[in-house]
């Protein structure tokens, strides 16, 4: 599915978006050039998580524009991306910040904190932003659980015919 932020996007309001300060996101994505958001979740009106391509790299962005920057984006092919993030508390420094691309652990830079405590009226948006774009073949978002990166990578790779290590 190509997300374009105007006619192709997904948005849902959830009563309590974050229950624990941990998050696993697995996706099969082919990115578009430029700054392109492909996933964003808000807790209440201010705290958020976002995944995007920016400056030619994968990025995880949190409230306050603190980012973790990962490997270079790839605009020619689909890849299995798995992010595993956890902090000791809401609003605290990330104690787990891992990213895997096709099963290979990636070097990350940046030290954002996990967003503040959860709030009502959470929103999950896929491809809905003025700069959104990219192609999303699959997405799994799991708050509060750090799932097996290997199982997610193998499952998504086999499902979509992507070679993983």
Q: Which class does domain 10-160 fall in?
A: mainly beta
pLDDT, tens only, 49-99? 788 887 788 888 887 667 888 888 877 889 999 999 999 988 888 899 999
The residue ranges of every structural domain in the chain are: 10-160
Task: Please give the Cα distance from 60 to 110 (Å, whole number).
Answer: 10
Nearest to 63 by CA among 18, 127, 108, 27: 18
Q: What is the pLDDT of residue 50?
A: 80
pLDDT at 43 over 80: no
**Percentage of residues in the chain having pLDDT higher than 70:** 75
Confidence label for 103 from pLDDT (cuts 50, 70 and 90): very high
pTM value is: 0.84
Query: For residue 64, what are its two tokens?
Result: 């306050």
Nearest to 51 by CA among 8, 92, 18, 81: 81
Matching residue, tokens 């959470």:
122
């Amino acid at each position: 599915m190509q997300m374009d932020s105007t006619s192709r996007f997904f948005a849902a309001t959830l009563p309590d978006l974050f229950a624990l300060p941990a998050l696993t996101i697995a996706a099969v994505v082919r990115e578009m050039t430029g700054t392109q958001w492909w996933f964003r979740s808000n807790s209440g009106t201010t705290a958020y998580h976002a995944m995007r391509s920016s400056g030619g790299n994968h990025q995880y962005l949190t409230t306050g524009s603190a980012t973790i920057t990962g490997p270079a984006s790839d605009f020619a092919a689909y890849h299995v991306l798995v992010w595993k993030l956890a902090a000791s508390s809401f609003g605290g420094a990330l104690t787990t910040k891992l990213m895997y691309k096709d099963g290979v652990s990636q070097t990350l830079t940046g030290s954002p904190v996990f967003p503040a405590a959860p709030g009502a009226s959470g929103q999950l948006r896929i491809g809905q932003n003025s700069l959104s774009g990219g192609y999303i073949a699959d997405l799994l978002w799991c708050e509060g659980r750090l799932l097996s990166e290997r199982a997610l990578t193998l499952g998504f790779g086999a499902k979509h015919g992507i070679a993983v290590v």
